[in-house]
Structure 1
Amino acid sequence: MVSEREHVAQILVASNRGPVSYTVNDSGGLDARRGGGGLVSGLSAIGSEAQSLWVCAALSEGDREAVRRGVGEPGVRMLDIDAAVHADAYNGIANSVLWFVNHMLYQTPLEPVFDKEFRRQWAAYETYNRAFAEALAAQAADGASVLVQDYHLALVPGMLRELRPDLRIGHFSHTPWAPAEYFRMLPDDIARQLLRGMLGADRLGFLTARWAAAFRGCCEQVVGGTGATRLGVHGLGADADFLRERAHRPDVGDRMAQLHEQIGGDGDRKTIVRVDRTELSKNIVRGLLAYRELLEEHSEWRERVVHIALAYPSRQDLAVYRDYTAEVSRLADEINARFGTAGWTPVVVHVKDDFARSLAAYRLADVALVNPIRDGMNLVAKEVPIVSDNGCALVLSREAGAYDELGDDAITVNPYDVTGTATALHEALTMPDTERAERTKRLAAAATALPPKQWFLDQLNALRGTTA
């Protein structure tokens, strides 16, 4: 048991990544960079008087140096967990096992392999989760509300329940959840431990009813049910006010001018836009194959359409991600070499993460391609209709969580069907302007139904018992 309280916070959030990060500058000082997102918006909505605390991990050397120097933000506690433990927990288990299971990404003839190395890394995952549980237990006031985030910290609710049975504990999954037959690839004892860890929460939140039902199915098969833990659905929406304001700042205008130059032509070329991390589940390669097939089967689009692919590198410390990123570049080069002309580059790729450029692409898009193999939500699908200048046809995978809310006004694709996706792109490109505008309006309304502040507050209120 934790016997000594270091702090008395009434509302606590726990996540792998926090709202601020640090880098050591040339003079040896520390520069802080503040992030955004739903959690940041949500905590701002409850006000400073609410005695909130965000517990996160020190992820970089700059972060660890900040902890060592005692530098920090009010309301944020960074945990300086051993770097090797974090690497095993984060890359070895969270990103290479739990992410792969819930996104159903394994090439099952060869993987996964749950051997001694996996068990060693799982022990690090336990250590990592325990560090969070102990920090939360030490800093929570009596009866405080704790909102634990995502698959990195799936064991925290159960560990925290043992330390502090007085707390109201919630956990939110930002990923899909695998169906039971896939989830049960995990070793039986690990599957039980994972589910029981999450069921230590009073309430578990998911992005869609589909993911919640999949979790319930896993619990029924593996541990006999969900017990007293309640399940809820909170479909995170986009922040329309922020996006519309940010999309009209001068730097976005500059990026639009640059993209116009790269698109070329006389301003009459159509644009197919995608904005993704080069994450395996995002299905960028099949999207490029579908675009290639579009140009093969519909020669009328040659020199009349440009595919803007903003593919920002992700998890490049994992070899499989490096290989995937390289394949994206190789395929884009192949398409350009085969179809490109002196005045037309069929695929324009940008790999440097640039939010202003992303917003510029959103505004220019005639078609948005969002074709993930599997996605918890996918906010790109929600953001594009909000900031689109002239209306945008959305080609959307039925395996994206956002499909539940946006599917009626999107052109639906099976993410594995390259020919079907090429057909959908042609349909999107030929959609009449009036229909495209009407669909965009309805998409934007659906995309903003639960903005980030309300998304957070709804979970907090549900955890406290004021809503179902």
Structure 2
Amino acid sequence: MSGLSAIGPETDAVWVCAALGGGDREAVRRTGGALEVGDTGGQRVRMLDIPAEVYAAAYNGVANSVLWFVHHMLYQTPLEPVFGAEFRAQWAAYEAYNAAFADALADGAALGAAVLVQDYHLALVPGMLRERRPDLRIAHFSHTPWAPAEYFAMLPDDIQRQLALGILGADRANFLTHRWAENFLACAETGLGGQCERVRPEDGPPGIVALVPERKAHTTWIGVHGLGADADFLRERAHRPDVEERMTALRAQIGGPDRKTVVRVDRTELSKNIVRGLLAYRQLLADHPEWRKRVVHIAFAYPSRQDLAVYREYTAEVEQVAGAVNAEFGTADWQPVVLHVKDDFARSLAAYRLADVALVNPIRDGMNLVAKEIPVVSDTGCALVLSREAGAHEELGAHALTVNPYDVMGTAEALHEALSMDDAERAARTERLAAAATALPPAQWFLDQLRELGG
């Protein structure tokens, strides 16, 4: 991810990752796991050959099908989740997966080294690593939201405890927003049954100490680092020839220079709320017929996690709803929705530049960098329709049109307001959005965490 781009070959850092497929596993067997720097862009990479069945159960069975769903509050609770024998077997794989990373880090880290563990897939690693190597300086970063305590409590009690103690093995637990950080603290208190104590210094961030018999007490300090957009990279990349070519193609699909554009760029991830976004656009056309033939919704929905049936079904639903809007309102010379489902970064940047309105309406999102990137590169300025449940709302909400992601009627009216906004207001909002979006660029985001860890 862009936030880790500051870790160049000159830092003498070691990346630790898991083999994903047959080619990776062959590379591990050939090199012993220490990949050739010529194959890694000059980076030192240690790749772990975790058994495929363990990886699948940990990554898809627990991380992506349980922890992701909990933190994004995606469950249909009358039917799911069900924490039975199958889940317990998958959880054992998740423990083994995390232990493999902890072992590799313990074996490879220099005395007193800084170790930065990334995301919910590796939530147990900090605690495991502290047991193996108490000399290390450990940080964990959560790139997702963190669930509120009452939702997190649907997890079995012992799993809540393990996850809390896992993160609290770190010297610093870092989050994208203050809201997610506060949720974690509440979950830790619930998961540990009160066997913890908050630390509230007069100056500086809060902390929390786990007071459990199985672990020596130490303070985990809480950090908030709202990752921003990389303005220099985006503005340079957005004006390369391949982006210009994509702009020409998109203009042809839009069908006229006077038509406005509503742009969204997402993965077909359940939390991104693409279907309700399309329904809101349909409601806009129904309630405000004056926008018919005057606006086009450019919707990029790039497939995600297609090895999981629920994601394949969701992708199909997105395509069905987009087709239904076109069938209901489209004419011979106007296609209301231009939907693309094949990933193309240059085309995404082209859409950013053409955006009059950006629609970012997730059910829940750790940050959502699209909300930050579009205002940075939009050619003529864009209005941002932004879900209050996106992490980016903490920084951008004052300059956006805020929506409840479940309220299709409300989102339709916000789209109408955004499309009706005069040029001067749209330009002023875009300027303020871009300034807020780039306040903490990726390199500084990483360096701030390293500095606070004492690196």
How does 1:127-138 map onto structure 2 within 5 Å?
127-138=96-107
1:374 to 357, 361, 364: 364
Structure 2 CA distance, aligned partners of 1:253 and 1:459? Answer: 37
Question: Of 428, 432, 441, which residue of structure 2 is paired with 1:451?
Answer: 441
Query: Match for 2:24 among 63, 68, 88?
Result: 63
- Distance in 1 (CA, whole Å) between partners of 2:373 and 2:447 is 21
Letter in 2 for 1:235: G
Q: 4+ runs of 1 displaced by more than 2 Å?
A: 68-74
Q: Distance in 1 between matches of 2:154 and 2:71?
A: 11
State yes or no: 1:269 paired with 2:234: no
Q: Tell me, yes or no, if structure 1 residue 251 matches structure 2 residue 242.
A: yes
* Matching of residue 126 in structure 1 with residue 95 in structure 2: yes
> Which of 453, 458, 461 does residue 451 from structure 2 map onto?
461
Q: Of residues 241, 257, 260 in structure 1, which corresponds to 2:232?
A: 241
Matching residue of 1:345: 335
Unaligned segments of structure 1, at least 5 residues: 1-35
Q: What are the within-5 Å matches in structure 2 for residues 67-86 of structure 1?
A: 67-70=28-31, 71-72=35-36, 73=40, 74-86=43-55
Deviation at 1:69, TM superposition (A): 2.5
Using the TM superposition, give the Cα deviation of residue 147 of structure 1 relative to its aligned residue in structure 2, in angstroms.
Answer: 0.3
What is the number of residues matched between the two proteins? 425
C-alpha deviation, 1:67, in angstroms = 1.8
1:42 CA drift (Å): 2.2
Listed one character per residue, the Cα deviations across residues 94-120 of structure 1 (whole Å, up to 9, x for unaligned) are: 000000000000000000000000000
Within the candidate set 152, 157, 160, 1:183 is matched to: 152
Match of 1:222 in 2: 191
Identical aligned pairs, as a percentage?
76
RMSD: 1.0
Match of 1:105 in 2: 74
Using the TM superposition, name which of 447-456 and 64-73 deviates more.
64-73
Deviation at 1:51, TM superposition (A): 2.1
How far, CA to CA, are the matches of 1:129 and 1:192 in structure 2? 16
Superposition pairs for residues 45-444 of structure 1, below 5 Å?
48=10, 50-70=11-31, 71-72=35-36, 73=40, 74-223=43-192, 224=194, 225=196, 226-227=208-209, 228-265=219-256, 267-444=257-434
2:312, 2:426 → 1: CA distance? Answer: 37
SS of aligned partner of 2:112: strand
Quote the offset at 1:58 in angstroms.
1.2
- Find the counterpart in structure 1 of residue 200 from structure 2: none
Secondary structure in 1 matching 2:114: strand
C-alpha distance in 2, partners of 1:221/1:117?
Answer: 25
| Distance of 1:454 and 1:309 partners within structure 2 | 31
Give the Å deviation of 1:294: 0.3
Task: Find the aligned partners of 2:360 and 2:21 in 1 and give their Cα distance.
Answer: 31
Q: CA deviation at 1:417?
A: 0.4
For normalisation by structure 2, the TM-score amounts to: 0.92
| 1:43 aligned counterpart, secondary structure | coil
Secondary structure at the counterpart of residue 171 of structure 1: strand
CA shift, 1:220, in A, is 1.5
Deviation at 1:66, TM superposition (A): 2.1
TM-score after normalising by structure 1? 0.90
Q: Give me the whole-angstrom Cα distance separating, in 1, the residues matched to 2:83 and 2:19.
A: 28
Query: Match of 2:130, as an amino acid?
Result: R
Q: Kindly indicate whether the alpha-carbon contact (under 8 Å) linking 1:137 and 1:164 is maintained by their aligned counterparts in 2.
A: yes
Query: Is 1:42 the equivalent of 2:6?
Result: yes
